[in-house]
Structure 1
């Protein structure tokens, strides 16, 4: 009898140390019901790397077997450098290619034998017709969306990541952080009941001599809406595209923002640059050059010194809560005197991510 009891206890100890996968249904941002064995142990991660880390913590990286590498290394190389130094295991992850440049490899994904593929909505829309082999192999695909910059989609994507990584409480905390900032900004603006200032935002990767993309109902366009601005591009641009330079003159924005990233630092000496490792002096030099565009001297934004630079890499992520604050403060400076958006951005990293970025993330042009 004692032998049987010891044997029973042995079984309990053995099986008690094993985490059994449990099939659960995840409803992704497209409303698709996806059956996933959780916790997922072999994840192919298409995008939103820092959000995955913010929700799941560094340990969640142990469950990633591959990713779309150049979306990180080529789009924001300075970010990749600091993260990969801190987390050298990133170098060991397999690369399955990038959607935008046509290198995404279905075969590579299949070779990794993942138990889950996570894609951004924009990636899924491009790849949808090519994903059949992955679906036939029984690999579930979950779609997230931080690109649209809509609070419900940010919250849904975060809660999905919480479920996938087993960090539901942390996901709830992050979702509340984002929602609270968006609500606080909206509430102050609503109570003030002021006219909406007109605003124009442009991706400055082409420099002041050529007009870059502006945004309608996506990315920075959605952030403008959350910050209470009147987006002059909204009637002319659905998602992102340049608009006629004459239209900017006609619309006469009260605030202009030029976004930049680190990628163009050496590629184009005139392109707007912002981000990790970018000096305030260099960012200002490039931002001030936009004042010299034909016809811009007479614009309200230029004559009233309301030209700003923003970090492109601080969009499409939970960290862009700080960008809602930044845009709102630029539009309604007296309503947000007590808010320091850049400190919000830094504090978010200190609390939820393994690195604290150093560089230039938001600036105002020289007078």
Structure 2
């Protein structure tokens, strides 16, 4: 069964029950962990285990995605500061929401969660092991506080649309969920059609959040088939991390990368607070010169500058947080255009991102830089 067939079959299975009887409660759904969850009423007090799920809520609760959020892990503030500035300027009350400071692995302070009297927790599927091991999931279930798992990272292409359909049902916004699903599926189908008859795929190494520890902190962290590895493969590339890593993430030596002679060397980044980081500051309202300088500096690192793809100028970089974000279709477009510039010459990922924001959200459509390349 092809990837496209698996996606279509899984999506059809999940969407049919989810898109029926919008706005009726209680509703019973199957989440992305295949758990049956009953939501007794329209959620009024939501906990976000991963703060980036605010971008999914922005598709559904468009007037104010923060309106019913009582606690969250404010990852935008910690990892994408200018996006946080854009969000809080539009919705100032977002600053008053309790920042739970959950770990990125899913560890949470159970007492604080319960104190917020939630009627729903939205969690990332990758966080389930931690929520189980710490007893958080069992305790919430015992208190009849529903938890639904969504996923844009472990299986980004297969699970993004079912996750949006799930939240559309849970939030009583199935029409808005379906509108975004249609937009995403149309773009994905176009990409699949253009990739279908290509005989040779490029070998790709991608370094997520390159330079996070500074220019002298070594290289090269990467993803396997999850996150950026999955997006590279969806865009028609062969991901080196998928071949080498025993787990979801890990480090590959520069020497190994050089020996494998990838066709493309890519990085990701986002504007982050604090000193000592050399990350490419992609995102809203950033200076193009700062982006280019950071990009060039990272390519000039010892060892990295000797990678054949870097020597040839077959390099690029992308906004980091697409890897765990329902807007990841834009990342797939950027990567496809990078690998196959002739086949995707008419595709404008930046224009598609602005269309997404304006058509499906109320997030301010500010100036944004999402990618850069040597070509």
Smaller-chain TM-score bracket: 0.7 to 0.9
Q: Distance in 2 between matches of 1:270 and 1:152?
A: 33
> Is contact 1:56–1:162 with CA below 8 Å preserved after alignment?
no
Q: Give the equivalent residue in structure 2 for 1:6.
A: none
Q: Distance in 2 between matches of 1:102 and 1:348?
A: 29
Q: Distance in 2 between matches of 1:206 and 1:281?
A: 21
Note the C-alpha offset of 1:62.
Answer: 2.4
Note the C-alpha offset of 1:110.
Answer: 0.8
Q: Give the equivalent residue in structure 1 for 2:103.
A: 99
Q: Give the equivalent residue in structure 2 for 1:86.
A: 90
Q: Distance in 1 between matches of 2:31 and 2:107?
A: 25
Q: Distance in 1 between matches of 2:95 and 2:278?
A: 32
RMSD across aligned positions (CA): 2.1
What does the per-residue CA deviation read over 1:79-124, in whole Å, with 9 as the maximum and x for residues that have no partner? 1111011001212322333133887211111111111111111222
Task: Give the unaligned 5+ runs of structure 1.
Answer: 1-19
Assess, with a 3 A threshold, how the Cα gap between structure 1 residues 207 and 337 changes in structure 2: closer, same or farther.
farther
Q: Distance in 2 between matches of 1:101 and 1:33?
A: 23
Q: How does 1:246-265 map to 2 (within 5 A)?
A: 246-263=255-272
Q: Distance in 2 between matches of 1:270 and 1:59?
A: 33
Residue 117, structure 1, aligned to residue 121, structure 2: yes
Q: Give the equivalent residue in structure 2 for 1:273.
A: 281
> Is contact 1:154–1:175 with CA below 8 Å preserved after alignment?
no
Q: Give the equivalent residue in structure 2 for 1:51.
A: 56
Q: Give the equivalent residue in structure 2 for 1:184.
A: 190
What does the per-residue CA deviation read over 1:5-54, in whole Å, with 9 as the maximum and x for residues that have no partner? xxxxxxxxxxxxxxx97222110000000111132222222221111111
Say which is worse superposed, 341-350 or 58-67, in terms of deviation. 58-67
Note the C-alpha offset of 1:290.
Answer: 3.3
Residue 153, structure 1, aligned to residue 162, structure 2: no
Note the C-alpha offset of 1:294.
Answer: 4.0
2:150 to 138, 144, 148: 144
Q: Higher relative CO (CA 8 A, sep ≥ 6), structure 1 or 2?
A: 2
Q: Give the equivalent residue in structure 2 for 1:195.
A: 200
> Is contact 1:224–1:231 with CA below 8 Å preserved after alignment?
yes
Q: Give the equivalent residue in structure 2 for 1:245.
A: 254
Q: Which runs of 4+ in 1 moved over 6 A?
A: none
Q: Distance in 2 between matches of 1:253 and 1:243?
A: 13
Q: Distance in 2 between matches of 1:64 and 1:296?
A: 43
Q: Distance in 1 between matches of 2:45 and 2:277?
A: 42
Say which is worse superposed, 119-128 or 254-263, in terms of deviation. 119-128
Q: Give the equivalent residue in structure 2 for 1:12.
A: none
Q: Give the equivalent residue in structure 2 for 1:4.
A: none
Q: Distance in 1 between matches of 2:320 and 2:146?
A: 31
Assess, with a 3 A threshold, how the Cα gap between structure 1 residues 35 and 42 changes in structure 2: closer, same or farther.
same
Q: Distance in 1 between matches of 2:277 and 2:241?
A: 27
Assess, with a 3 A threshold, how the Cα gap between structure 1 residues 107 and 157 changes in structure 2: closer, same or farther.
same
Residue 67, structure 1, aligned to residue 76, structure 2: no
Assess, with a 3 A threshold, how the Cα gap between structure 1 residues 290 and 135 changes in structure 2: closer, same or farther.
same
Say which is worse superposed, 293-302 or 253-262, in terms of deviation. 293-302
1:214 to 188, 213, 222: 222
Residue 314, structure 1, aligned to residue 322, structure 2: yes
> Is contact 2:254–2:304 with CA below 8 Å preserved after alignment?
no
Q: Give the equivalent residue in structure 2 for 1:11.
A: none
Assess, with a 3 A threshold, how the Cα gap between structure 1 residues 182 and 300 changes in structure 2: closer, same or farther.
farther
Q: Give the equivalent residue in structure 1 for 2:369.
A: 360
Q: Give the equivalent residue in structure 2 for 1:29.
A: 32
What does the per-residue CA deviation read over 1:286-325, in whole Å, with 9 as the maximum and x for residues that have no partner? 2112333445555442233221121112331121111101
**Number of positions where the alignment pairs a residue of Structure 1 with one of Structure 2:** 344
